[in-house]
A = this chain, B = another copy of it.
Amino acid sequence: MTYCVGLRLDDGLVLLSDTRTNAGLDNISTYKKMFTFEAPGERIITILTAGSLSVTQTAMLRLEEAIDDPEADESTSILKAKTMLKVAEIVGNALAEVSSDISGKLKRMEQNSASASLILAGQRKGGDQRLFLIYPEGNFIEATDDTPFLQIGEHKYGKPILDRVIRPETSLEDGQKAALLSMDSTLRSNLSVGMPLDLMVIRRDGLCVSQSRRIEPMDEGFMAMSSAWSGALRDAFTRIKL
Instruction: List A residues at the B interface (Cβ < 8 Å).
Output: 156-157, 159-161, 163-165, 173-174, 176-178, 180-181, 185, 188-189, 221, 224-225, 228-230, 232-237, 239-242
**A159→B160 contact, CB < 8 A:** no
Shortest Cβ gap from A194 to chain B (Å): 16
**B240→A229 contact, CB < 8 A:** yes
Instruction: Give 8 A-B contacts (CB < 8 Å), ordered by A residue.
Output: A159-B189, A160-B160, A164-B230, A173-B242, A177-B240, A221-B242, A235-B236, A236-B236
**A177→B242 contact, CB < 8 A:** yes
A177 vs B239: C-alpha distance when bound (angstroms): 11
A235: chain B residues at CB < 8 Å are 236
Shortest Cβ gap from A66 to chain B (Å): 37
A242: chain B residues at CB < 8 Å are 173, 176-177, 180, 221, 225
**B185→A160 contact, CB < 8 A:** yes
Which of A160, A229, A234 has the most C-beta atoms of chain B within 10 angstroms of its own C-beta? Answer: A160
With A189-B159, A228-B241: A233-B164 Cβ-Cβ less than 8 Å: yes
Shortest Cβ gap from A125 to chain B (Å): 29
A165: chain B residues at CB < 8 Å are 234, 237
A160: chain B residues at CB < 8 Å are 157, 160, 185, 188-189
Which of A156, A159, A161, A235 has the most C-beta atoms of chain B within 10 angstroms of its own C-beta? Answer: A156
Shortest Cβ gap from A211 to chain B (Å): 11
Give the residue of B159, B164, B225, B241 whose beta carbon is less than 8 angstroms from that of A240. B225
